Amino acid sequence: MTARDEDIHASLSGVTRVYPGAAGTPPVHALGPIDLELKRGEFFAVVGPSGCGKSTLLEVLAGLQQPTAGTVTFEGRPVSGKVSDGIGVVFQEDASFPWLTVWDNAAFGLRRNGVAAAEIRRRVDDALAFMGLTDFARAYPAQLSGGMRQRVCISRTLVLQPRLILLDEPFGALDAQTRLLMGDEVLRLWRRTGATILLITHALDEAAMLADRIGAMSARPGRFLDIVVTGWPRERDSKIVSEAGFAEITGRLWDNLRGESMKSLGHSGVMAG
Amino acid sequence: MSRVGWIRIAVLVIAIGLLELCCRVGLIDHRVVIPPSQMADALIRLLISGEANDQIVRTFGIVVIAALISIVAGFALGLVIHALPRVRQSLDPFFATYYAVPIFIFYPVLIVIFGLSVIPIMLMGVATAIVAMIIATLNGLDRVPQVLTKVARVHRMGTIATALLLKLPAAAPHLFTGVKLAVSYAFIGVIASEFILAPAGLGRVISDAYSDFNNRQMYALMLLLIIVATAVNMALHVVDQRWAERRGIAKL
């Protein structure tokens, strides 16, 4: 294995995903072909119009879906329809378990994996402290706000110490201010864990603030139109939105996506130009 | 106690008080209905004498067994039917119309098959209750968020672990509604069967007391059934409320 190979944490090569059509309807070509190499420890964001296959891309990389064609690898091993050890996923929907306390939610995966009780306590307490949930450890998700519930889900992922974290529009349901603050927390988490992060988002400002590189996708079938390198320092937070370069990045992303968003809305012929 | 609780008690007290008053002043003939105070007095005396203890144990025993069978079998059948979409599609019309059929018409058939014993009564209890549990299980499983299935796969959980650790607790509020209905229907099925035809049991004793114009015994046992059925349902309701509050589900 070359030094370059070791630097590649996960990759998609020639990946396509075609959903078979229901009775009497044609198949849906949702994704690809896509080629992507995620470097170890980088923060990569994917933006694109609604329905362009962003979430499909994440699920294929996670192993939740099989690609129709192409290969997916994680740490040099193929990913094939099963979630590999070391991959953590946070979904857009509230995936907290309403019947468990915050603490038990966070401990769920560790208990499943048979981790010793003392180690579970240490990791869960640490994760809850990191996510600012210590005071709510005994609360149930229904007693928390949407943002806090999402933090519970992140804690549940965090305790498993994943090396690749996949975030599928985790802040999609939150208001703009909370999203900025959650973005700061994700950046802190990224720096602390050293994990590679792939973030799916429809918010250009969120992608521009968080990521090292941003992939702008076309309308369905989703392909990368452009990969934008932000060049931000590793030590950054939401204050970066006031930097001059921030507007350049979001502007470049919007240049790429404007036409594609029109297409996805069915306005290509009307609004072009 | 909350204001709603006080209003609930006030409604009950006023209704009982009005009935007592109507019976005492002769607006209601005492040969038809006796005052609630006399019903309570007759019930206390009956319980102290131990005269009806065997019948009470017998009837409530059958109700408990019928409810348990309905809950366990209804849940298991619900799980299996949910996993087989075509079977479910074919059975859905039967579930939808089940409670429109007067299932007590089958009671004589069961007596012919099993004789005049506990079994036909218990089977009537099960027949009345089990479909409510199956429907509640199907509803509950339908409402398990899709994202939990993805979470299960991320945690590399198998089918059984996913069902027991995620789907079952996620569907629990709906299953509990099924449990409440199954208990109530089991009560109705058992008491009504005993009332129609049975060698013993509270339903049979009430029926006999009715035939003998023994109003004190009839109303005493009716009061006992109302108290027990209400108490069981209230207890289940309280548990249901606590779970609902914990999960942030508004229930009235």
Residue that the structure tokens 């519970």 belong to = A152
Residue A137 in any domain: the answer is no
Alpha-carbon distances of A211 from B14, B23, B201, rounded to whole Å: 68, 81, 74
The stretches in chain A having pLDDT less than 50 are 268-273
Domain of A72, CATH number, reads 3.40.50.300
Residue A46 in any domain: the answer is yes
List pLDDT tens digits, range B97-146: 998 888 889 999 999 999 988 999 999 999 999 999 999 999 999 999 99
Residue A112 in any domain: the answer is no
Q: What is the pLDDT of residue A269?
A: 46
Which residues from B are below 8 Å from A101, CB to CB? none
Distance CA B30, CA A240 (A): 86
Is the Cβ of B160 closer than 8 Å to some Cβ of chain A?
no
DSSP for A167-234 reads EESTTTTS-HHHHHHHHHHHHHHHHHH--EEEEE-S-HHHHHHH-SEEEEEPSSSB-EEEEEE----S
Is the Cβ of B8 closer than 8 Å to some Cβ of chain A?
no
How confident is the prediction for chain B on average, in pLDDT? 91
Of B151, B161, B248, the CB nearest to A98: B248
Residue A92 in any domain: the answer is no
List pLDDT tens digits, range A123-149: 999 999 988 899 999 999 999 988 889
Distance CA A112, CA A37 (A): 31
Share of chain B above pLDDT 70, in %: 98
Q: What is the pLDDT of residue A3?
A: 53
* Confidence label for B73 from pLDDT (cuts 50, 70 and 90): very high
pLDDT of B48 higher than 90: yes
pLDDT of B27 higher than 70: yes
Residue that the structure tokens 């470097």 belong to = A39
**Furthest-apart CA atoms within chain B: distance in Å:** 73
The kind and range of the H/E element at A31 are strand A28-39
Tokens of B2: 């909350």
In terms of pLDDT, which residue wins out, B249 or A195? A195
Residue to test with chain A: of B144, B151, B160, most A Cβ within 10 A: B151
Q: What is the pLDDT of residue B198?
A: 85
Residue A27 in any domain: the answer is yes
ipTM, 2 dp: 0.86
* Confidence label for B81 from pLDDT (cuts 50, 70 and 90): very high
Residue among A151, A126, A127, A131 nearest A141 (CA): A151
Residue A65 in any domain: the answer is yes
Count of structural domains, chain A: 1
Distance CA A167, CA B97 (A): 46
Q: What is the pLDDT of residue A256?
A: 82
Q: Which range marks the domain in which residue A176 is found?
A: 3-86+162-271
Q: Can you give the length of chain A in residues?
A: 273
Distance CA B242, CA A90 (A): 29
CB A11 within 8 A of CB A37: yes
List pLDDT tens digits, range B149-196: 999 999 999 888 998 899 989 998 889 999 999 999 999 999 999 998
Is the Cβ of A109 closer than 8 Å to some Cβ of chain B?
yes
Residue A94 in any domain: the answer is no
Distance CA B216, CA B41 (A): 9
Q: What is the pLDDT of residue A272?
A: 39
Distance CA A195, CA A89 (A): 12
CB B186 within 8 A of CB B194: no
Q: What is the pLDDT of residue A183?
A: 87
List pLDDT tens digits, range B214-243: 999 999 999 999 999 999 998 998 888 888
Residue among A195, A192, A193, A251 nearest A226 (CA): A251
Which residue in A has a C-alpha nearest to residue B154's C-alpha? Answer: A83
Which residue in A has a C-alpha nearest to residue B166's C-alpha? Answer: A97
Q: What is the pLDDT of residue B251?
A: 52
Residue A141 in any domain: the answer is no
Which residues from B are below 8 Å from A93, CB to CB? 145-147
Q: Which of residues 172-191 of B touch A (CB under 8 A)?
A: 172
Alpha-carbon distances of A264 from A18, A221, A272, rounded to whole Å: 17, 10, 13
